[in-house]
Amino acid sequence: MFVALLKNGETCSLLDDWTVEQLHVLRATQSFFCPVCFRRVQLKIGKKRMSHFAHETKCTIETERETFAHLQGKQQLYEWLMNENIEAEVEKYLPHIQQRPDVFVRHEKKMYAVEYQCSVIPSSLFVKRTNAYVNAHIVPIWLLHSSHMRRFGLFFQLSSFSWLFFNCYEMIPFYCPQRREVSFLHHLIPLSKTITYGEWTTIPLDTMSFSFFQQAPQRKHDALFDAWQMKKKQWRLSPLYYRTNRAFCRIVYEAHMTPSLFPHEAGIPLRHSYWFETPPFVWQTYMLLEMMNIPPHLTFSFHQLYERMQYFIRQNLIHIRRLPLMTKSHYSYALMDYLHALVSLRLLKKVGKSTFQRIRSWSLPHNMEEAIRGDEQLLRRIVSKKEDFFTKRE
């Protein structure tokens, strides 16, 4: 940490302009104490690491050892905010919630807690900290070290921990202290529990406005459909998806289908599908099976289908992703997205605000060649209608 108390009660901040010689004198003449637990801390002055205070014993709210990257990033974010003339305090202790954000910010009559996370912490602790800020009317802004993301062309690998940082602006902010860059991973459409399609926007910290943390980045390109076609082909051709999901195989076999020849209308990219760890072709096949059980032209409601989805969730056939920062959305939004997509494909007809009718049957391929060709044709139909899967749905 950068802030400690002196014996006389004054605050000592290492973010002030100290020389190495001054720090050695300070360490030789002063005692330092944690502003939270009031236990003694040591002033560490090193050539390889940044100067910082370290506890001799564990602090009451310390949960992890600070790395060089964390100290460096915290300092850079604080100095950036100060240069932007934004009121900021590093490591300010908030006694009413017993938390100490990396940087506490007051800006335009709002309070913010900027948390820069480099190491993995339990999801329960992440949720606890977040809820404490929200209950105290403090807006949490979580940034993740860029090392927690791996990129493979248009696809990204994210752990369950990284997904915790997905916020209500539908993005994950990253920070790299070595390059002094903030990056936003946005417009995410997951393909599995860990692999997702997305777009990556990078902004040098010194040219960025604080407001960037509170607005969704713009889409930059339309590579989604090419990427999706490639991935859907992999779903069909890879036996791994079916060897590891026996429940899916059992259900589709009972419906007299071959697992790799699932309907063309399953596996459609949707804006809110980030809620699902289950691959899109799996959960959408389940929903199609439910709709095929409803006679054509018989009206059914969104809530009927939603109840069936909840059944699949309770049976652990569909897995929901934990997104504690996503407070303005719900996994039911993805289901409504899907129904609207099926209306666009003329499988369903919308007859009311939340009621639908099935007007035809699904498209089941008979062989792999037909499956791949039909998938491409279906995606082309979607593109030709200029269907925007990122448009907000009612």
The per-residue pLDDT for range 279-302, each reduced to its tens digit, is 999 999 999 999 999 999 899 999
pLDDT (tens digit, 9 = 90+) per residue, 241-264?
Answer: 777 788 999 999 999 999 999 999
Query: For residues 354 and 71, which has the higher predicted lDDT (pLDDT)?
Result: 354
Query: Widest CA span of the chain, in angstroms?
Result: 85
**Quick check: 389 pLDDT over 70?**
no
**Quick check: 276 pLDDT over 70?**
yes
Instruction: Please tell me the pTM assigned to this model.
Output: 0.84
**Quick check: 352 pLDDT over 90?**
yes
10 Å Cβ neighbour count for 285? 22
Lowest average pLDDT, out of 56-70, 121-135, 316-330, goes to 56-70
Average pLDDT, the chain: 88
Confidence of residue 47 (pLDDT cuts 50, 70, 90): low
Q: Strand 3-6's sheet: what is its strand order? A: 11-13, 3-6, 32-33, 40-44, 52-55
Contact between 72 and 177 (Cβ < 8 Å): yes
Using CA atoms in the order 35, 41, 43, 48, what is the torsion angle rounded to 10 degrees? -100
For residue 282, CA distances in Å to 104, 263, 274 come to: 43, 10, 14
Domains of the chain in start order, with CATH, are 3-55 (no CATH), 68-214 (3.40.1350.10), 224-384 (no CATH)
Confidence of residue 71 (pLDDT cuts 50, 70, 90): confident
Mean pLDDT score, 184-212: 94
Mean pLDDT score, 378-394: 60
Mean pLDDT score, 100-115: 95
The per-residue pLDDT for 23 is 77
Confidence of residue 174 (pLDDT cuts 50, 70, 90): very high
**Quick check: 270 pLDDT over 70?**
yes
Q: Which residues contact 147 (CB under 8 A, 6 or more apart)?
A: 118
Contact between 55 and 34 (Cβ < 8 Å): yes
Q: Which residues pair with 43 in a beta bridge?
A: 53
343: left (phi over 0), alpha (psi -120 to 50) or beta: alpha
* DSSP-derived 3-state class of residue 382: helix
DSSP 8-state assignment for residue 315: T
Q: Which two tokens stand for residue 379?
A: 């995606």
